Amino acid sequence: MTSTHGTVVVVGSMNMDIVVKASRFPASGETLFGQEVHFEPGGKGGNQAVACAKLGHETFMLGAVGGDAFGGSLMKSLETNGVNAEHMKKTGSAATGIASITLTPEDNTILVVPGANGTLTAEDVNAWSEVISKGSILLVQLEIPMEAVAAAVDIAYRQGIPVILNPAPASEIPADVLGKIRYITPNQTELHTLTGVDPESEGLEKAMDALLAKGPEAVIATLGSQGAAWKTRGGTLQRSASRRVEVVDTTGAGDAFNGGLACSLSRNRGLEESVRFAIAVSALAVTKFGAQGGMPVLKEVERLLNEGE
């Protein structure tokens, strides 16, 4: 690790992903046989932290697990991937969060039961203030209670630490929180939910402008197979294409993108370079099975970037 690599602090969720592979999604009311079941460490927070640690950055994960076997496995995954997990909350009052994932050759669906993630309070987060202050950048998502997100954002904001908010899954975000965010990274569905403007029918830029008007300094919209688009307040719309890869599992693709973006920005790189880097991290992540298991190391990302578009 060199001093040019910034420290990333992630405040967010930890889930055990229960992944069932099936040839297709069951119809409503239908019972279908799946082919395989896998128990994979996940959760948007945990995935983003593992992505950053595997890219060689000092990374702190701040979240909650239950005192059960899933919690133990998730902690082990953080530790073996090089994430600093020593400040994690272990609660006896709720089970570790789980995500029930159906994976078909075309797509996936995810149903999350927050469990321990839902026990995180503003008080818990305030007790982490010193750890959050160590970060060059703070990365948060919306799989934990909004009061915990708001407390983390406020601590970072008061210290001038840039915040990336990955608004997933989309829910209403208080104006006060949006005003303290430097970067927000919605996909198209989240962009629609957050602004009421449908990027597909009413225009991507219109939706991004509507989000910029709510406070963040930059909107970086992830567009799946079409790459990403970004716009800063007062800037023009920019786009970066996706990379062509053989897709095995898209679970955690957005987390890989956010982790890559955080790492690159924490090294003081500009948005254009950082978005390109994030796209490469995400492209490599989908070529492997499992959210955390699929996160690439820096050398793989550099190799892909050196191959050109």
By the rule CB under 6 A, 47 interacts with ligand RIB = yes
Contact 242, 279 (CB under 8 A): yes
By the rule CB under 6 A, 42 interacts with ligand RIB = yes
Dihedral angle sign, alpha carbons of residues 244, 249, 251, 252:
negative
Q: Which of 17, 58, 154, 190 lies at the binding interface for ligand RIB (CB under 6 A)?
A: 17
Selection from 80, 76, 72, 48 nearest residue 61 by Cα = 48
Q: Is 154 a catalytic residue?
A: no
- Binding site annotation covers 71? no
Q: How many residues bind ligand RIB (CB under 6 A)?
A: 16
Q: Which of 118, 167, 254, 260 lies at the binding interface for ligand RIB (CB under 6 A)?
A: 254
Active-site entry in 107, 124, 209, 255: 255
- Binding site annotation covers 15? yes
Q: Which of 152, 229, 291, 301 lies at the binding interface for ligand RIB (CB under 6 A)?
A: 291
Q: Tell me the longest C-alpha to C-alpha distance in the chain.
A: 55
Tell me whether the omega of the peptide bond preceding residue 167 falls within 30 degrees of 0, making it cis: no
Q: Which of 75, 78, 99, 137 lies at the binding interface for ligand RIB (CB under 6 A)?
A: 99
DSSP type of residue 115: G
Q: Which of 7, 8, 10, 44 lies at the binding interface for ligand RIB (CB under 6 A)?
A: 44
Nearer Cβ to ligand RIB, position 18 or 210? Answer: 18
Selection from 272, 231, 289 nearest residue 36 by Cα = 289
Residue carrying the six token digits 């395989």: 36
Q: 232 in helix, strand or coil?
A: strand
CB-nearest residue to ligand RIB:
42
Query: Residue 89 corresponds to which tokens in the numbers above?
Result: 């909350």
How many Å separate Cα 171 from the centre of its chain? Answer: 15
Residues lying near ligand RIB in the complex (CB under 6 A) are found at 13, 15, 17, 42-44, 47, 99, 110, 112, 143, 251-252, 254-255, 291
Binding residues for ATP: 187, 222-227, 254-255
Residue numbers annotated as active site: 255
